[in-house]
Amino acid sequence: MPSPQPSANATQPRGRASAGPSAARWTKDPNFSRPDGALGVDPSEMVGKVLKSIRRSPAHPTLTLHFADRTAYQVRTDGYNPAHPGVPKQLESNMDLETLLASERALEDLNWTVSRARIFKMSDKGFSQLDKRETSWHLDHTALAFQCEE
């Protein structure tokens, strides 16, 4: 898997479309390019594969996707190092996937076919009010989105 700065991950299990994006938003962004030396594969390699299980690492911010063809992909947090505080210690995902991840058994024998997968960018602002002045900064995230059909 590409090394998203996840935010993993707006995932769309069970063939549901997300609330906002239209099908046109799933096309590749011509302005997006991975940094030189980035680890991972193009998420489109997952399209058409049958997802058998999803496992969350109990120790690291990682999801492993296991497929029927005996391949496995990991979604990792870019720059994560357990020795350095301040780096995100878990992947973020939508409520559908979080609910499934909370019930470990629900993620075995899925038999979902990946119909769409891509990486996209998100931006937001971070804020701190530790000083008398409010401080803000711009945050860029890279995320993986995939949609499955049962």
Lowest mean pLDDT among 4-18, 19-33, 34-48, 75-89: 4-18
Under a CB-based contact definition with an 8 Å cutoff, are residues 56 and 18 in contact? no
Domain limits, the chain: 11-124+136-149
Indicate the helix (H) or strand (E) that contains 95: helix 95-102
Q: pLDDT of 47-97, one tens digit each?
A: 999 999 988 888 788 889 999 999 999 888 777 777 776 666 667 788 888
Q: What is the mean pLDDT of the chain?
A: 71
Residue type, 105: R
pTM, two decimal places: 0.64
Distance CA 130, CA 135 (A): 8
Q: Residue 120: phi, psi to the nearest 5?
A: -140, 165
Q: Which of 108, 11, 13, 124 is nearest to 66 (CA)?
A: 108
Beta bridge partners of 56: 63
pLDDT of residue 30 exceeding 60, the answer is no
Q: What mean pLDDT comes out for the span 8-32?
A: 39
